Amino acid sequence: MLFEDEEIVKLFDKMIYLQVDTDEMFQRRMARFDEPHYYHLENEEPSEDWKERYFNEVVKIEAPKYSTCRNYQVHFIDAKLTQEEILEESLKYILDL
């Protein structure tokens, strides 16, 4: 896992759904929305390795936005942000949930 700090990991327990996607990947993910690989839905058990997969796979994608589905919030960010800035933005967003 990229982060060992338990406090940072705990922040992600507050996540309803936060996803870094390119437009194409977002459309593909929407097509298989019922497969909870990267997101944690309220009252639904996430996959055992979802935090590790979020950091190791999803955050590495340079993307134009954080996207949510159904009735959840949508948070747009600057596509030119570095990966570190994307992580900072995601932490700020999660703290605001």
Whether the pTM exceeds 0.85: the reply is no
76: β partners: 65
Q: Output the pLDDT for position 91.
A: 72
Find the helix packing angle between 6-13 and 83-96, rounded to 10°: 60
**Per-residue pLDDT at 13 exceeds 70:** no
In whole angstroms, give the CA distance from residue 84 to residue 20: 13
Q: Output the pLDDT for position 36.
A: 44
Percentage above 90 pLDDT, the chain: 0
Over residues 20-48, mean pLDDT: 49
- Please write the tens of the pLDDT for every residue from 36-59: 444 444 444 545 554 455 444 444
Supply 47's token pair: 């996959």
Q: Output the pLDDT for position 93.
A: 66
**Per-residue pLDDT at 95 exceeds 60:** yes
Q: Output the pLDDT for position 1.
A: 44
The confidence band for 83, taking pLDDT boundaries of 50, 70 and 90, is low
